[in-house]
Structure 1
Amino acid sequence: MNDLWLPQTVNSIEPSASWVTVFVANTFALLLFGLQHSIMARPYFKSWLTRFIDPSIERSTYVLATAVAIAGMCYLWVPFGSVIWQVESEMGVYVIRGIAVFGWLFLFLATFMLNHFELLGLRQTFDPLQGKAAPVAAFKTAGFYKIVRHPIQTGILIGVWAIPVSTASHVVFAAGISAYIFIGLYFEEQDLIKEFGDTYLDYMQRVKRVVPFIV
């Protein structure tokens, strides 16, 4: 995504494909991730899914499906278009690369400020195997969660936009991911309000969603 180490990315300059191919393939790629990530996160889908699998592996199943959807989205994406912006200064390139690294590191650290292994569904799967009770959902606002309500998404937004050379393909991809983040967070927060009630409503009043002091 940040054009490092990979032979082809969404930002690659490729021989022009037909606009029909570009539109169909890239729309499907974004929907593949967006629909999977949103639908599988909703309580009604979780209730349906746990009719067929043990509830202890529901979260890990969701995480695995998300990884497959992300891989599929990147594989199916058809690069297109010319360069929109390009930073010529070597120092500028290093600064922007540094911002991107900060974004991805921000995301990674945020996962540990709740419970990294619970987020990935590993704790829910392995605790029952060891005779421990399944973890109960608790409202936590540690670390970055005191600054923004969704630091993982903040890290993604920084990471996908902080790039020194961008084609039209990358702009559309990053815009699609950004749009999904804000649409997905709306539905996620509706679920959180139902789960935590006034506690979460108060949190929404005190802490911005993804950008400190702004939004």
Structure 2
Amino acid sequence: MPHTVNSIVPSDSLVTVIVINTFALLLFGLQHSVMARPSFKRWFTRFIDPSNERSTYVLATAVAIGGMCYLWIPFCTVIWQVESEMWGYVIRGIAVFGWLFLFIATFMINHFELFGLRQTFNPLQGKSAPTATFKMSGFYKIVRHPIQTGVLIGIWAVPVSASSHLVFATGISVYIFIGLYFEEKDLVQEFGETYLD
């Protein structure tokens, strides 16, 4: 990418920055939420094989994230900056912990199923498509949503933050909490009392 959310660059007009950055966040947020809903999945699998639905969703998410990062216009000045080199490393270590926490959590449910690979390749090998099962192992025993928790730790644990990063991290955080509201409803509908317990 030509820049990061923390780049300090001469920015366009404030209106342009607000419009494009809002569009960038919505591009990801809407794609990731709409395509995850059961009603969309039912409609979408009328056009593609159901075994390819999850991998198509993941691919669309990757494109949306790439688009969001590419479109994002960094703006304004530094909001906070940790001067101590030691504390800078500590904060970066916390961020690395968050991203590793997320990555490891994907294997606790089934990394290859999460990314749609199992659903796509099982039928090609003559195996039946996996059915959704409720799993509560590893981090899931102590944190309801460890993947999202890892994202939140990773995006907020930064030793330097421009106002651009602050807006980006806030937007992603708001999206996570809105997305979790709908995901919780879907999980209760799918697993009922098992999930509520």
* Aligned counterpart, 1:104: 99
Compute the displacement of 1:81 (Å).
Answer: 1.1
* Aligned counterpart, 1:134: 129
Aligned length: 197
Please state whether the residue corresponding to 1:11 is helix, strand or coil. Answer: coil
Q: Any stretches of 5+ residues in structure 2 without a counterpart?
A: none
How far apart, CA to CA, are the structure 2 residues paired with 1:16 and 1:199? 50
* Aligned counterpart, 2:48: 53
Using the aligned pairs only, state the percent identity: 80
Aligned positions of 1:66-215 closer than 5 A: 66-202=61-197
Please state whether the residue corresponding to 2:109 is helix, strand or coil. Answer: coil
How far apart, CA to CA, are the structure 1 residues paired with 2:11 and 2:64? 25
Code of the residue aligned with 2:163 in structure 1: it is A
Greater helix proportion: 2
Aligned residues of 2:95 and 2:154 also touching (Cα < 8 A): yes
Instruction: Give the CA RMSD over aligned residues.
Output: 0.8
Q: What whole-Å deviation, never above 9, does each CA across 1:188-212 have from its counterpart, x for those lacking one?
A: 010000000011111xxxxxxxxxx
Code of the residue aligned with 1:200 in structure 2: it is Y
How far apart, CA to CA, are the structure 1 residues paired with 2:144 and 2:133? 15
Q: What whole-Å deviation, never above 9, does each CA across 1:102-159 have from its counterpart, x for those lacking one?
A: 0000000000001000000000000001100100100000000001111000000000
How far apart, CA to CA, are the structure 2 residues paired with 1:17 and 1:121? 39
* Aligned counterpart, 2:59: 64
Compute the displacement of 1:7 (Å).
Answer: 5.5
Please state whether the residue corresponding to 1:134 is helix, strand or coil. Answer: coil
The two structures have a TM-score, normalised by structure 1, of: 0.90
Q: Determine which of 16, 19, 27 is the counterpart of 2:11.
A: 16
* Aligned counterpart, 1:32: 27
How far apart, CA to CA, are the structure 2 residues paired with 1:59 and 1:175? 27
Q: What whole-Å deviation, never above 9, does each CA across 1:13-64 have from its counterpart, x for those lacking one?
A: 0103101110110000000000000000000100110000000000000000
The two structures have a TM-score, normalised by structure 2, of: 0.99
Aligned residues of 2:11 and 2:17 also touching (Cα < 8 A): no
Aligned residues of 2:140 and 2:146 also touching (Cα < 8 A): yes
Moved over 4 A (4+): none
Q: Any stretches of 5+ residues in structure 1 without a counterpart?
A: 1-5, 203-215
Please state whether the residue corresponding to 1:135 is helix, strand or coil. Answer: coil
How far apart, CA to CA, are the structure 2 residues paired with 1:17 and 1:120? 37
Please state whether the residue corresponding to 1:141 is helix, strand or coil. Answer: coil
